[in-house]
Structure 1
Amino acid sequence: MNCGIMGIGTYIPNAWMTAEEISNKSKIPENIIIEKFGLFKKPIPRENDTPSYMGIKAAEKAITDAGISPKEIDVVIWVGGQHKDYLSWISSIKIANEIGAINACGFDMSSLCCSMVSGVEVAKSLLVTNKKYNTILLVSGSRDVDFVDYTNPETAFLIDVGAGGSAMVIRKNYNKNVILGSSIKCDGTFAESCIVEYGAAKHWPIKNEEVNKINYGIKDVESFKEKLGTKTIDNFEKVVKESLKYSGMTESDIDYLAMLHFKKSAHNNCLDRLHLNADKTTYLSEYGHVGQNDQILSIELGLKSGKIKDGSNVVMVGAGLGFIWAATVIAWGNYLNRYKQERENII
């Protein structure tokens, strides 16, 4: 039983912060932001760009791309940020109502910036195991940029974080853009390393002097940096190779790597580990890190540039604070044509 991607969509706010503006806020030289952080500009939210609004706009595009009615959607899964429109709130139900998915149930899940990639595995599992479900919408919106303190050098690695939304329609027995193997790895030793400490249950009710502290912070900077430096690229490599293994492939079969935005050196290191050239991915220097939306944005850009074609093996890979790494392989294009060609080659 195949599960394939029928349609994708993104929403990018029409408001931007340039490298120069980031430099002015952070006091990091503009050339360092461009060359080291790999960032020319990033989208930032306007007043009405709540996470659910951005998700709704992306979902509408994905549904149009899929060529279906929203009434055909059986499940809406929110895979966006935990920083939602309201505290203790379910985004998926709001979105289902707004887009006209009147027959859908919904729930929210999160692995932070890894949510879209791990959500693909959850959606596929639901479709395979539940006879009632045929079509699932994954939808995301992220504005964790609200928590970035540009004056804190300890969290400077987060200055590329922007805002946006994305969505994906997945259908059972759909033989295009078929979802193959996945891999997810976690490391709980990072669980409380980089967090937004104030404004949540551990510090409730919030005090007046804590309002300006609702930002990302790191408790043990040296330990965090050491663990991140020794583990993150290794685990990127592991989940990519494991997802390929489960798909009957190796890294030599990768045609396109749809991955999150991070600093240029880490990006290049990841490509080197997988023996990939830069033309097999898209570096999001014009967008930065738009949370769990990076992979869908990368696929859109890859399709537009011609890097992704019918028959391409696409690997989505991401990472979320906490820490979690995940990868999923997509056989892009007509899956039946692929096997027809393979049989013809054998004959």
Structure 2
Amino acid sequence: MTKIGIEATSTFFPAGIESASLLANKTGIPENIITDKFGLYEKHVADETMHASDMAIEAARPIVDQYGPDTIDVVIYFGSPHKDYYVWTCASKIQHELGLKKAYAFEIMNVSSGFPVALKVAKDMIKADHTIQSILLVGGCKESQIVDYTNPRSRFMFNFGDGGCAALIKRDSLVSEILESAIITDGSFHQDVRIPAGGSKNFASHETVEQRKHYIDVHNPADMKERLDPVSIPNFEKVIRKSLQKSGLSSENLSLLLPLHTKRSMFNQLLSSLDLPEEKAIYLDHHGHMSSLDPCVGLHLAQEQGRLSHGDIAVAVSAGTGYTWAATVIKWMGTK
């Protein structure tokens, strides 16, 4: 049976850094709250010259240089929907700038839950189409730009940071194998988190700019919290356990959890629900939350830190507003 896996990963982070101290000054929130409760010591922030597509391109370059542009059949952008332009695909720019003339390109978007979903899509595409040998997943994020630090309703999103990542998905990979996925969507949350203006419902105008409606916002935080808190950790746990079960495994086999960046208390709750020690998870307290990129960044950091050994089982798990929880299991074989 054909094994389809992640052959290589790469990341890119802009030079700009916002420390917890700087965030404390911008928000009025004490620095110790930002480090201890937000779980954030610093995050990368891009300047006005760098955008989501640029960071995705820079992240993918090392992979393209190593494997060659002619080896890549498909490019899938799975990153932040806050891109260089609205109603625009950056996948085609990425394909062009990287010289991937053989590959076609498209995008999938499921906000922060994108990476586990993208892994499933890439695996299923290669499995279904014998002409596809490799797929390059690329993501970029500049969501620090859409945070209004004066708006307490969006406080839980103050950890948004910037960066890029890429993963090469390959037929007959010797490095890893993508196993099964599990996904839950609860669309009752579809109205809770959004940028209020700029779309067709509230088109951009002088008034929307003056009223600061082009930043991400939560309509009613207390109401969302009341509805979300009872289901969030259980749904995280469900998709993790179900993806493992579909892979013929259990949580006892879990070697490393690769979650999105959340506040420290939620991270600890998730570990507790899985009976998993903290050393078996990656926590991005020096990067923050980068939309759908987090689990891919976590996987790359885990490789750099030597935290994956032959036979290890990792789970990439994330959740995106709207609200979707997604997990994909990865069996690690080694490095080339």
TM-score, normalization by structure 2 = 0.96
Asked whether the 8 Å contact 1:13–1:163 carries over to 2, the reply is yes
Equivalent residue for 1:238? 238
Equivalent residue for 2:200? 201
Matches for 1:80-99 after TM superposition, within 5 Å: 80-99=79-98
Which whole-Å CA distance do the structure 2 matches of 1:287 and 1:125 have between them?
30
Number of aligned positions between the proteins: 332
Asked whether the 8 Å contact 2:309–2:334 carries over to 1, the reply is no
Matches for 1:95-174 after TM superposition, within 5 Å: 95-174=94-173
Equivalent residue for 1:251? 251
Which whole-Å CA distance do the structure 1 matches of 2:275 and 2:312 have between them?
17
1:158-191 Cα deviation digits (max 9, x unpaired): 0111001111111112243100011111110111
1:59-112 Cα deviation digits (max 9, x unpaired): 112334xx3111111110110111111111111111011111101111111011
Shift of 1:334: 5.0
Equivalent residue for 2:57? 56
User: Matched residue of 1:131: which SS?
Assistant: coil
Equivalent residue for 1:338? none
Asked whether the 8 Å contact 1:303–1:309 carries over to 2, the reply is no
Which whole-Å CA distance do the structure 2 matches of 1:277 and 1:307 have between them?
14
User: Matched residue of 2:11: which SS?
Assistant: strand
Stretches of structure 1 that go unaligned for 5 or more consecutive residues are: 336-347
Shift of 1:240: 0.4
Shift of 1:221: 2.4
- Identity across matched positions, percent: 35
Equivalent residue for 1:179? 178
Equivalent residue for 1:10? 11
Equivalent residue for 1:307? 307
Which whole-Å CA distance do the structure 2 matches of 1:187 and 1:151 have between them?
29
Asked whether the 8 Å contact 2:134–2:170 carries over to 1, the reply is yes
User: Matched residue of 2:14: which SS?
Assistant: coil
Shift of 1:151: 1.3
User: Matched residue of 2:119: which SS?
Assistant: helix
Asked whether the 8 Å contact 2:271–2:277 carries over to 1, the reply is yes
Equivalent residue for 2:74? 75
TM-score, normalization by structure 1 = 0.93
1:201-224 Cα deviation digits (max 9, x unpaired): 1112x2212113211112232221
RMSD between aligned residues? 1.3
1:233-270 Cα deviation digits (max 9, x unpaired): 11110110011001111011011111111101100000
Letter in 1 for 2:205: K
Stretches of structure 2 that go unaligned for 5 or more consecutive residues are: none
Asked whether the 8 Å contact 1:254–1:314 carries over to 2, the reply is yes
User: Matched residue of 1:139: which SS?
Assistant: strand
Equivalent residue for 1:295? 295
Which whole-Å CA distance do the structure 1 matches of 2:274 and 2:252 have between them?
8
Which whole-Å CA distance do the structure 2 matches of 1:79 and 1:220 have between them?
28
Asked whether the 8 Å contact 1:180–1:247 carries over to 2, the reply is yes
Which whole-Å CA distance do the structure 1 matches of 2:316 and 2:119 have between them?
10
Equivalent residue for 2:332? 332
Which whole-Å CA distance do the structure 1 matches of 2:67 and 2:63 have between them?
9
1:287-327 Cα deviation digits (max 9, x unpaired): 11122111122112212222212221111101111111111
User: Matched residue of 2:201: which SS?
Assistant: helix
Letter in 2 for 1:162: G
User: Matched residue of 2:179: which SS?
Assistant: strand
Shift of 1:48: 2.0
More divergent stretch after superposition (219-228 vs 312-321): 219-228
Asked whether the 8 Å contact 2:7–2:174 carries over to 1, the reply is no
Matches for 1:13-28 after TM superposition, within 5 Å: 13-28=14-29
More divergent stretch after superposition (245-254 vs 326-335): 326-335
User: Matched residue of 2:283: which SS?
Assistant: coil
